[in-house]
Amino acid sequence: MLVSRCSALAVCASALLVVSFTGGQQSTPQPAGEDFVRAHYAKYEYRIPMRDGVRLFTSVYVPKVAAFPADPGPYPFMMNRTPYGVAPYGEGNYRKLLGPSEEFERSGYIFVYQDVRGRWMSEGKFVEMHPAIDEKKTPQDVDESSDTYDTIAFLLRHVPNNNGKVGIWGISYPGFYTSASIINSHPAIAAASPQAPMTNLFFDDDTYHGGALMLSAGYGFYAPFFHAQRNPTETEDGEPFDFGTSDSYQFYLNAGNVANLDRLMTTSTALWDDQYRHDTYDRYWQIRDLSRHMKNVKCAVLVVGGWFDAEDLEGPYRTFNAIRKFNPATPITLVEGPWAHGGWARGAGDRLGDVEFHARTGDYFRAEVQFPFFEHYLKGKGKTLPTAVVFETGSDVWRHYDAWPPKAAAAKTLYFHADGKLSFDPPTEDKSADEYLSDPSHPVPFVGYTTDTVPQRYMVDDQRFASSRPDVVTYETDPLTEDVTIAGPISPHLKVASTGTDSDFDVKLIDVYPDHYPDPDSLSEGNKRIVSAPSLHMGGYQQLLRGEPFRAKFRSNWEKPEPLTPGQVTAIDFTMPDLYHTFRRGHRIMVQVQSSWFPLTDRNPQTFTDIPNAKPGDFQKATEQIFHQKDAASGVEVLVMP
């Protein structure tokens, strides 16, 4: 059976809420378990009434004073609101883990877990990414902010030995609920940490990237999981979906157009229909853009994301920037590490796939960043943090900055040249271009191996399989004579022409490792960690750093797409999510351009049409040209550190 990244997250969230999808990262042994939780906490369950009469199911774990003799309280609340279920249900049934990490459950907090409106044991109607209501006029005007407000008011009155302060955290969808909860926030909320928060699903979070549907991950989530519920319930409706193959590439290719996938579902879901049918930035997505509403945030905020998050890559930046814009006096910190989705929550964070980071980044985050943050604002202990705490991949070190991107970073463009060359020098040729034939019947795969899911490791996978394809053009620098560090967003600027009336242009930024490494024994101790880091099999490795699609019909307007004029030189300009990486001396910088990335994204028929309902005859081969000449220079703009 195919299992999507979001499916795995859902299982993770319903079971532990914070156990991460580590993508190959090794788990840290956790001595705490259900016996520890049962011995140190008493569990209570409430059905908390909201202002419109709907009751939300809430589990509360209260410290037993005798179990924490060094800290008898009063205690702050740590709240997690989730659509994935707060199981186990029943006051005699205890969770195995409490809070964001072990440090919290051993320090004395009141832990609160709540089923959001319309999910599991809570009443009401579930609405996907419930739009925020800025001006509430009646008790029927409810959203996630008001539900959180009413919940906190109840807890402050009914749970004894609390200190009147509340912290909120959550990863992915619970990250969205964390962000939504602090809009017009209850005065008791002192600290919040939206982690990998879903923020705008049309712009580089789960559903669409550059106007292209994230096909495999989206369908893999909604087909087997997240069906409509009849609440209250302790079970998910619907039956498991049998994909019938372990080869997702072949499954989606055989399906034809996206709309055909509806017929294959054993239990239909309106949520999947909403995702693929709203394939422009229409009102459905606009009202769900949470970044527009991040106002009156009165608590300190710790925004967390992973450089290699395959799901909610852009959400942390949008959330961070929106809170800074609307709430300039609010203390806020952005944390970005070398993690897959949720990889900071419980794992060591020392590797992803084949790539090693030579540091237990997850341990550092939990002990030195997350726990001190909440301790400071909820208990008056801990420490304050700088504006940005970011891990520099390549050199594998943590850095602190008072702004993100760093103020010292300056824009430079990596230009394409003839013969596959790449450099910071602009092209001088009068006429120069590359071309390739893009065939939607044989799309470029997004990984070089058979997979039945979207593996988290694809974000750093070796791209040599793609370099050898005739429908992928590759540009590469000479070996670097000194380190090059980039920090911030990455912006492709392409001059293209196509024989089709629509096409995708997928751009990938890649770190190419040297073919051979020095003998580690010949290096000083200080250099061994850096130079000898990759294993022998990493010689020549083409590590993906950032890759994004862009659907050409959206080049001027996200709401009103327009066709390409065949043969006409056209500008394609877009921005990819941030990165902080050092290309080491001796490495090369590579950029690849292609027109399919399957089944990570849906296929573009390369004719201007209704893509989800495209007919077989709409899928046409197209010759794509990438220009690199004086009056039509193509390249990728990056921010380079001095």
Report pLDDT digits (tens) over 74-86: 999 999 999 999 9
Residue 229's pLDDT is what? 86
Residue 486's pLDDT is what? 98
Residue 8's pLDDT is what? 36
CATH 2.30.30.30 holds for 411-640: no
Measuring CA to CA, which residue among 446, 315, 336, 447 is closest to residue 387? Answer: 336
| Predicted confidence (pLDDT) at residue 299 exceeds the cutoff of 70 | yes
Residue 152's pLDDT is what? 98
- DSSP string computed for 168-226: EEEESHHHHHHHHHTTT--TTEEEEEEES----TTTTSSSEETTEE-HHHHHHHHTTS-
Report pLDDT digits (tens) over 141-172: 999 999 999 999 999 999 999 999 999 999 99
Report pLDDT digits (tens) over 162-213: 999 999 999 999 999 999 999 999 999 999 999 999 999 999 999 999 999 9
Mean pLDDT of the residues in the chain: 92
Arithmetic mean of pLDDT, 403-432 = 98
pLDDT tier, 27 (very low <50, low <70, confident <90, very high otherwise): very low
pLDDT tier, 119 (very low <50, low <70, confident <90, very high otherwise): very high
Could you tell me what percent of the chain has a pLDDT over 70? 92
Distance between CA atoms of residues 495 and 21, nearest Å: 38
Report pLDDT digits (tens) over 328-373: 999 999 999 999 999 999 899 999 999 999 999 999 999 999 999 9
Residue 32's pLDDT is what? 53
Taking only Cα atoms into account, the Rg of the chain, rounded to an integer number of angstroms, comes to 25
| Predicted confidence (pLDDT) at residue 523 exceeds the cutoff of 80 | no
Distance between CA atoms of residues 603 and 614, nearest Å: 10
Q: For residue 538, with 0-12 CB atoms within 10 Å meaning exposed, 13-18 middle and 19 or more buried, which class applies? A: middle
Arithmetic mean of pLDDT, 214-236 = 89
Residue 528's pLDDT is what? 45
- The CATH-assigned architecture of domain 5-200+288-334 is 3-Layer(aba) Sandwich (3.40)
Residue 222's pLDDT is what? 86
Report pLDDT digits (tens) over 366-415: 999 999 999 999 999 988 999 999 999 999 999 999 999 999 999 999 99
Residue 33's pLDDT is what? 81
Distance between CA atoms of residues 101 and 314, nearest Å: 24
Residue 31's pLDDT is what? 44
Residue 536's pLDDT is what? 53
**Domain ranges in the chain?**
5-200+288-334, 411-640
